[in-house]
Structure 1
Amino acid sequence: MTALGDSLTVIPPTWRPDLVDPYDYVEEVGRKIGFSQIEATLPPLTAGRGLTRAQQGRRAALHAVADAGFVEVISLPFIGDTDLDGLGLTGEDPRRRTVQLANPLDDTRGYLRTTLLPGLFQAVSRNQSRSQDDVAIFECGTVFLAGPPARAPRPSVDHRPSEEELAQIAAALPDQPRMLAGVLSGNWLPDRWNGPAVRADWTHAVLLAESAAQALGVRLERRSARQAPWHPGRCAALMVAGQIVGYAGELHPKVCKAFGLPARACAVELSLDALLEAAPAGGQITPLSTFPVAKEDVALVVDAAVPAAQVREALVAGGGDLLESVELFDVYTGEQVGPGRKSLAFSLRLRAADRTLKDAEAAQVRDAAVAQATAQFGAELRS
């Protein structure tokens, strides 16, 4: 060892091949003189930047779902062929694109999950076995969808991987979207002194999705759909700006039997990443109008196959800026409207920001909204 000014040159003995890097020598010196002789100095603290927009959005969505009455659970991210077959997935279903584990904890579940539902099904079945019949649970987590076969390089550890190697590693990773899912069975509300029990159904599954979307400022649209593992005709596609982000509804009886679930259990699964991407970056508060609201009710007769949500959208499009809200409050089918037809009754609220609407103005907005529904779906005003 030689010293020259502020520099120190050391040569390790032949029996110490572990002394390679500069910090190895620093540690060796500290061990010789005693680490207690070195004054502890904390690194300087930097100002925090707070939660990212995505983190804030995820917390808001999960808090909204929990406030709606659901209990959060965490399940193991593993599935097997039995789970995929029990869901009734076809061979072309993207959820069949599994990532196989090299050393699984359980030979019957040797893949990373491609959907959150099997884990939730197991939680419901476990609760059922312990006489917990009324279950409303949800989970937020990533799923893993394998892409085209690719082999990631193994860069050397003596230097930082090149940009090309990092790109190859990223390309070999599976898609990992963050999903939000929930399962319900039994009663939503138990028997009470002031009323009978309320059965959990598809409306509560949709409630989970709506609660998360509203917390992010996103409006969900619903369309009838056919998608495993839901029951055909009792499944709704959840859409944002015309793009499907998930599904909700009643589970297929075969799925309930395969996973040991009670009959008519309901489930929902949607992409939380898609909701966060569609969420507005900044909110704009509209001042409340101090002028009174005008109310108009319309009952429209349409074909039974026409979704009520689409009729509502037509009313909104035709009503214009003066139309504050449109709510469906009654659905009627019977002899008065004829076979294959149904009557949809909507409550329209109209308000102007700068004046009190006259009866003629309110009627004009109502007629414009009805005209739009008539043009799109052949709707007729019910007398």
Structure 2
Amino acid sequence: QLIAEIAGGEVLESVLEAGALSPQTRSLNVSSQDIQRFMGVRVSAESMQAIFGGLDVPVTKTHADGVEVTVPSFRPDLTRRIDLVEEIARVHGLDNVPAPLRMVVEIAKPSRRQKVRKLVRLALQGMGFSEALTDTFVTAKTALSEFSPFNAGAVRLEARNPVNAETPSLRRNLIGSLLLAMGTNQRQGLDHVRLYEVANVFLPSGDGSNSGETEVLSLIGADYFDLKGAIESLLQGLRCEQKLEANPTEHAVFAPGHAAELKLGGRRFGVIGEATTKAMAEYGVEGKCALAELDFSAVVDAWVPVPTMTELSRFPTAERDLAFVLDHAVTWSQIESTAREASGEMLREIRLFDEFTGKQIGAGKKSLAFRLYFRDDAKTLTSEEIQSRLDAVIKAVTDQLGGQLRG
């Protein structure tokens, strides 16, 4: 018509109807359970039928729990079951739909590592240690800048644009940071400070295949044996069932003859030793200073959450004392392991109670006296059984460690 009236077109014939689109019908089901689930109210099948009838949506089937409707052509928006629920909600009244205030609060349970970290803090603070929080970036030119008890071949990471030009490197150990903190405390008049820190060090491999972040526990104190005792007390507090071994080692940052590699259950655990005068001077530390750095993952694995109970034995324990003269290089750890292996399960405990050096012993020698505790939980041990175990220990220490039994 517009073409004919405006553009000068001529209508030759009237409109021809070539055909009509056949309407496509769809059927949808909705149940009372659907209404309850999404609206929080229950609507009966009769009420649904009345609502859809008012909306000109034919109800083709009615069953006990809901209805089936045929979607009319003028409602192309009704394509899913949830669309029918929405129509019922609008007619039923949104004000009639309950809106309960729900707040679900899920408290994340601490992981094993987090629990152990807390236990370590409590234990060390109870022993008089203070926690240190040191900088991740350190200077690259100190005696300890290249030291690591866990990965000596790791590359050193440096920042391209460090905030402080004097500290461009990511730390490879924590003991250097604790030495710096110790020196700062001493300059403030705090001489008797014991520090610890649990943090990451960075020991990536040479090919850069890993980030190299390793969590370690480091401690600093005045005395080697005091620090070693603190580590043993910490493991005892964690109910560790593995044996701690200290084997002599040498490193440029530790005084000769005053360092040991620590193993826990045969696994590398860390290192402990007294710092050299040069290392202490670089960090401004005066007096003696003992350092330890431990693999924190090994500490986590050593924790026994539930204590194990052992029935008290009804049979007596027999005690025997032995004393040997040995080379100064022989460690107590070697003697203990040798004695336990030779005597078997009847040896319940072994304790060192005396160490002596002097002219009477000879140069390069030392005398160690220790007590052995034997017990069998099934019977009372006879003198012959105890003596056979004792002879086995004497033979093992003599043959394997070169010890000479003292009378």
TM-score range, shorter chain: 0.7 to 0.9
Partner residue, 1:203: 225
* 1:180 is aligned to 2:227: no
**Equivalent in the alignment of 1:244:** 268
SS of structure 2 residue aligned to 1:312: helix
The match for 1:105 is: 163
TM-score of the pair, normalised by structure 2:
0.69
Matching of residue 59 in structure 1 with residue 122 in structure 2: no
Secondary structure of 2:194's match? strand
Cα 1:361–1:175 change in 2 (3 A) is same
Q: Distance in 1 between matches of 2:148 and 2:186?
A: 31
Give the deviation of 1:42 after TM superposition: 4.8
1:127 aligns with 2:185: yes
Higher RCO, Cα 8 Å, sep 6+: 1
The CA distance in 2 between the partners of 1:295 and 1:205, in whole Å, is: 30
Q: Amino acid of the residue matched to residue 191 of structure 2?
A: D
Map of 1:219 onto structure 2: 243
Change in Cα spacing, 1:338 to 1:94, as seen in structure 2 (3 Å) is: closer
TM-fit CA distance, 1:340: 2.8
Cα shift at 1:178: 0.9
Q: 2:154, 2:205 within 8 Å by CA — same for their partners in 1? A: no
**1:360 maps to which residue?**
384
**More off after superposition, 66-75 vs 94-103:** 94-103
Give the Cα separation in 2 of the matches to 1:91 and 1:56.
Answer: 26
| Residue pair 2:153, 2:205 contacting (<8 A) in 1 also | no
The answer to whether the Cα contact below 8 Å between 2:157 and 2:169 also exists between their aligned partners in 1 is yes
- Asked if residue 232 in structure 1 is aligned to residue 253 in structure 2, the reply is no
Q: Aligned in 2, Cα 1:216/1:148: closer, same or farther, shift over 3 Å?
A: farther
Q: Answer yes or no: is the 8 Å Cα contact 2:154–2:206 preserved in 1.
A: no
CA distance in 2, matches of 1:320, 1:376: 17
Q: CA deviation at 1:326?
A: 0.4
Deviations 1:58-100 (A, max 9, x none): 3333333333322212112111213xx2327479973762222
Listed as ranges, the matches of 1:5-24 within 5 Å are none
* 1:130 positional shift: 1.2
Shift of 1:361: 2.5
- 2:144 aligns to what? 87
AA matched with 1:124: M
Deviations 1:242-268 (A, max 9, x none): 443211121011001100001321111
Give the CA deviation at 1:139.
0.5
The equivalences for 1:255-274 within 5 A come to 255-274=279-298
What are the equivalent positions in structure 2 for 1:157-172 lying under 5 Å apart?
171=209
Question: AA paired with 2:193?
Answer: V
Change (3 A) 1:372 1:61: farther
Q: What is the RMSD computed on CA atoms of the aligned residues?
A: 2.9
Match of 2:16 in 1: none
Partner of 2:394: 370
Residue matched to 1:286? 310
Q: What is the distance in 1 between the residues matched to 2:125 and 2:386?
A: 40
Q: Is the 8 A contact 1:299 1:382 kept in 2?
A: yes
Deviation at 1:49, TM superposition (A): 6.9
Equivalence map 1:283-322=2 (5 Å): 284-322=308-346
Number of residue pairs the alignment of both structures matches: 312
Segment drifting more, 342-351 vs 211-220 = 211-220
Give structure 2 stretches of 5+ with no counterpart: 1-74, 81-98
Alpha-carbon distance in 1 for matches of 2:187, 2:265: 42
Counterpart code for 1:362: I
Within the alignment, does 1:136 sit opposite 2:209 as a pair?
A: no
My pick for the range that moved more, 266-275 or 334-343, is 334-343
Residue 146 of structure 1 aligns to a residue in which SS?
A: coil
User: What is the one-letter code of the residue matched to 1:244?
Assistant: R
Query: Which deviates more from structure 2 when the two are superposed, residues 356-365 or residues 121-130?
Result: 356-365
Question: CA shift at 1:216, angstroms?
Answer: 5.0
Give how far 1:327 is off: 0.7
Indicate the structure (1 or 2) with the bigger Cα radius of gyration: 2
Q: Deviations over 1:28-47 (max 9, x none)?
A: xxxxxxxxxxx79555345x
User: Which residue of the other structure, out of 134, 137, 156, is the alignment partner of 1:75?
Assistant: 134
Deviations 1:352-373 (A, max 9, x none): 2133333332222222222221
Distance 2:378 2:147 in 1: 57
Contact preservation (8 Å) 1:64, 1:212: yes
Matched residues, percent identical? 28
Contact 1:60–1:216 under 8 Å retained in 2: no
Q: Separation in 2 of the partners of 1:228 and 1:283?
A: 41
Deviations 1:298-331 (A, max 9, x none): 0012222211221121112112111111011111
**Which position in structure 1 is the counterpart of 2:83?**
none
Q: Is the 8 A contact 1:95 1:115 kept in 2?
A: no
